[in-house]
Structure 1
C-alpha cells in the first residue's frame, strides 16, 4: 500500500507539473491591442487611466534598424517599421513606431508593444512581425515586407507580405512567397497588387537573382522581371500612371516598367547604390543612395541633381506631405534624416 501511495503521489506530481508546463506554454488568450501614445500606462490593457506625457516634453528615438517608412494620411504621422534583432537572435522581435513631423515620438511602440514570445502568441489574433524591410500604406492598409525562418543556416527564409489595418493596427492577412527568402522593398498599387524587389547577388554572375515580383491581392505570386536590365534592384514605387519604377544598386539606372513588366524608360540618378525612391504627383522622382549618401531629384525631362549629400546609410525613404519633406531611415545608425522640399503645401 505504501508503494502504491508513493507511485500515486509521484504520478499526481507529474500530472501537476505537466499541467503547469502546459499552462506556462499556453497563457490565456487576450484581445489584440496596440501601444498607447506617449504617456502612462504604455499598454492599454494595464490597469489605470491613460494620461499623456505633458506638453512640455519632447521625446526622440524609438527607432532601431529601420529600413523603410511610410505615411499615415489620416493621423498625419510617419510610420516606421523597426526590424529589431536578426531572426537568428530572436524571432518576432520587430515593432512599428509612429513619429510626428519633426521626428519626435508620437507612439514609441504601436504595433508590437508586447514582448516577443508568449505575450504576442496569446493575442487574438496573434501578432507575428519578424524583420520587416520595405513598407507601404495604401487605402487604409499598412503593407510590410517581412520574412519567416532564417533562424539558423539550415532554416531557409520565406518572404511574407504582412498586412495591418492602419486605423487599428490589427493584422489583416498575409501572403507567403516560398520561392523567395526575403523581399527588400515593396510598392502597392491601388488594387492591392504588391510589387516587390529581390535584390540578389553583387556580381554580373548573379544576374538571375535580380528580380521583381508581383503578388496579387488574392495571393498569386509571379516573377515579373528577372536579370538584365535590372542591376540589383532595391527601391520600388508606383508612378502616377500606375507604372512600376525601380532603382538599382549597381548602376544609377532609374527604370520605369509597365505593370506587365515591359521596360518603358530608363533615367539616370546622380549616384549609384540606390535604395529609396519617392515619386510626386507631377512625376518628379527623388532617389536616395544607401552607398553614396546622396538624394537625387529627377524632374521630368531634366537631368538629375543632388539636393542632399553624405547621409550615412540613406535607406528606403518616404514622403511626409504634412511637412513637405523626405524622411530617410538611416538603417544601422538607428536614426532618421529629414530633407525639406520647401514650405509645407
Structure 2
C-alpha cells in the first residue's frame, strides 16, 4: 500500500513537470506568433486603385475613371510633387465611431487615384499598428517641408467627454504618422497654416452665433520649438475660420462671423482689413501675385480680392463650400462640398 502510494506521488510529480514544459513551449510559441504579428502590423498605406494578383499589384486600366472616396470632407490640399489633391474625409463623427477618418488622393479631374491612402485600416485595427494611427475629425489641412498637417481633435465622444485640439502630422512621402501636437487649452481647431520657419498658426473658431463669447475666438501660434501661445483673441477676429500665409510672410485670417479678411504681421499687428463679398468665410488661397480667393461655407460663393481692388464673386450657390485648395498645375480651385461629400472644380482665368 505504501509502495503504491509512493509510486503514485512520483507519477504526479512527473506529470507536473511535463505540464510545466508544455506551458513553457506553448508560451514560447505564443510569443513568437505575437512578435510575428507585431512585425506584420507595421504601419502601411493604401495602394492606388487596382488589384493584387499572384502577389503583384496591377493598376486599374487607364481608360477607367472612378469617382467618390469622399465623406464629409472639410478641406483639401494640393500635393505638387505627386500632382494629386489630398482630401481628408471625416467618416463617422466621434460620437458614432472614434478614429474613423481617412485620406484620399484625387486626380485633377476629380477621379480617384487612391481611395484610402492614410486610413486604409478600419478603426478597430489602427491602435495595433506600429506606429498607431489616430485620425478622428480632420478639418483644415496643410503641406509644409515634406509634412502633411491636419487640424484634428481627441475626445468629444459624448456630452460628458471633453474635446481637446490636436494637430496631426504625417510624413508626406510615406504617410507614416509623426508626433502629434496637443493644444490642451483648446477644445477644437479649424484651419491650419505653416510659415517658412516652421511656425504653425491655427484657428479656434469658438462659439458661433449672436451670443458667442469673443474670448473663444482665437488664433493659436506654435513655435518651431513647440511652445504654444495665443496669437490673437477676440476683436477684430470674429469666429475665425480660414487662415493662410501671404507672400510677405504675414498671417491672413478669414472671419466667419462677418466678411472681414484680416492681415496680421508675425508680431500680431493688424496691417490690413479687406472684405469678401459674403460672410460665413471658410477657406482661403493666396496666389503669388497677392490675389486672394475666399470661400463662404454659409452663402456658397467664392470671392476674389485682387490687390488694391474690391472683392468680386467668381462662383456662387456652391453647397457647403468649405476650405478650398489651389491646384497650381491645372490652375484651378478645388472646393470641398462638405454636405454633398464631393468636390467642386473652378478653372481660373
TM, length-normalised to structure 2: 0.88
Q: Counterparts of 1:246-257 in structure 2 under 5 Å?
A: 246-257=253-264
Counterpart in the other structure of 1:134: 140
Change (3 A) 1:226 1:47: farther
Q: Counterparts of 2:119 and 2:91 in 1: how far apart (Å)?
A: 11
Counterpart in the other structure of 1:89: 96
Is residue 295 of structure 2 the alignment partner of residue 284 of structure 1? no
Among residues 92, 110, 117, which one is paired with 2:117 in the alignment? 110
Give CA-to-partner distance per residue, 1:266-323, whole Å, 9 cap, x none: 0011111110100001100000000111100000000100000100000000000011
Q: Counterparts of 1:47 and 1:89 in 2: how far apart (Å)?
A: 38
Q: Counterparts of 2:234 and 2:272 in 1: how far apart (Å)?
A: 17
Counterpart in the other structure of 2:164: 158
Q: Counterparts of 1:28 and 1:213 in 2: how far apart (Å)?
A: 38
Q: Counterparts of 1:268 and 1:130 in 2: how far apart (Å)?
A: 33
Counterpart in the other structure of 1:172: 178
Q: Counterparts of 1:35 and 1:218 in 2: how far apart (Å)?
A: 32
TM-superposed CA distance for 1:258, in Å, is 1.0
Is contact 1:193–1:215 with CA below 8 Å preserved after alignment?
yes
Is residue 49 of structure 2 the alignment partner of residue 38 of structure 1? yes
Is contact 2:319–2:339 with CA below 8 Å preserved after alignment?
no
Runs of 4+ in structure 1 displaced over 3 angstroms? 26-29
Task: Count residues in correspondence.
Answer: 323
TM-superposed CA distance for 1:28, in Å, is 3.3
Q: Counterparts of 2:153 and 2:293 in 1: how far apart (Å)?
A: 27
Counterpart in the other structure of 2:61: 54
Return 5+ residue gaps in structure 1 as ranges.
2-7, 10-15
Is contact 1:277–1:286 with CA below 8 Å preserved after alignment?
yes
Larger radius of gyration: 2
Is contact 1:325–1:339 with CA below 8 Å preserved after alignment?
yes
TM-superposed CA distance for 1:166, in Å, is 0.6
Give CA-to-partner distance per residue, 1:142-176, whole Å, 9 cap, x none: 01111111111111111111111111101121100
TM, length-normalised to structure 1: 0.89
Change (3 A) 1:151 1:299: same
Counterpart in the other structure of 1:224: 231
Among residues 212, 216, 233, which one is paired with 1:209 in the alignment? 216
Superposition CA RMSD, Å = 2.2
TM-superposed CA distance for 1:27, in Å, is 6.1
TM-superposed CA distance for 1:205, in Å, is 4.7
Q: Counterparts of 1:190 and 1:173 in 2: how far apart (Å)?
A: 19
Q: Counterparts of 1:162 and 1:176 in 2: how far apart (Å)?
A: 9
TM-superposed CA distance for 1:340, in Å, is 0.5
Q: Counterparts of 2:343 and 2:212 in 1: how far apart (Å)?
A: 34
Counterpart in the other structure of 1:13: none
